[in-house]
Amino acid sequence: MESKAIVRAYQPILLIFIVLEAAFLLLAALLLAWGIDYRVLMTGNVLLFAVTTISFVLYIKGLRNQNPHVFVRVMIGSMLVKFFVCLIAVMIYGMIARAAVNRNGVLGCFVLYVIYTYLEVRMLLRMTKRSRGPFAEGES
């Protein structure tokens, strides 16, 4: 039962990732006409999905711990890591692309960051409501 609840909590993030990747591929010509490099958006989406997935695993471990301070530390730490990974990725992209930086693509990635952060917070709120349910360790 526990694994089903975890998968159910993770589904919105996976669904958004798949839908966004498909949309970027299908709308590539339109995005390019608007001055948005779809490859920047796709790379940003993959990066945010990976960091959010790692955060999700850490949240599950934090919820299973009996000490509530552990969960708070994990939550704040994960969001800080996510922010700094995105910041470093933008800096690396800027250093590699130099003058060819697609600003619209980077701004689109910031929108993706907001979307993933919203989903993450929503997921956390649902998981903490159930923290004494399927995510709690040692309960039947």
Question: Would you place residue 131 in the very low, low, confident or very high pLDDT band (cuts 50, 70, 90)?
Answer: low
Domain boundaries, the chain: 2-129
Cβ atoms of residues 130 and 5 within 8 Å: yes
**Nearest to residue 54, comparing CAs of 32, 74, 34, 25?**
74
pTM of the predicted structure, to 2 decimals: 0.85
Q: Where are the alpha helices (DSSP H) in 27-102?
A: 28-33, 38-64, 68-97
The pLDDT of residue 47 is 96
Taking only the tens place, the pLDDT of each residue in 23-38 is 999 999 999 999 999 9
Structure-derived torsion over alpha carbons of residues 47, 12, 74, 59, reported in degrees to the nearest 10: -120
Residues 6+ apart with CB under 8 A from 136: 63, 64
How far apart, in Å, are the Cα atoms of 70 and each of 5, 33, 51, 75, 118?
21, 47, 19, 9, 22
Q: What is the pLDDT of residue 130?
A: 67
C-alpha of 19 from chain center: 14
pLDDT greater at residue 24 or residue 60:
24
Q: Average pLDDT, stretch 94-101?
A: 91
- What is the C-alpha to C-alpha distance for residues 69 and 80, in angstroms, rounded to an integer? 16
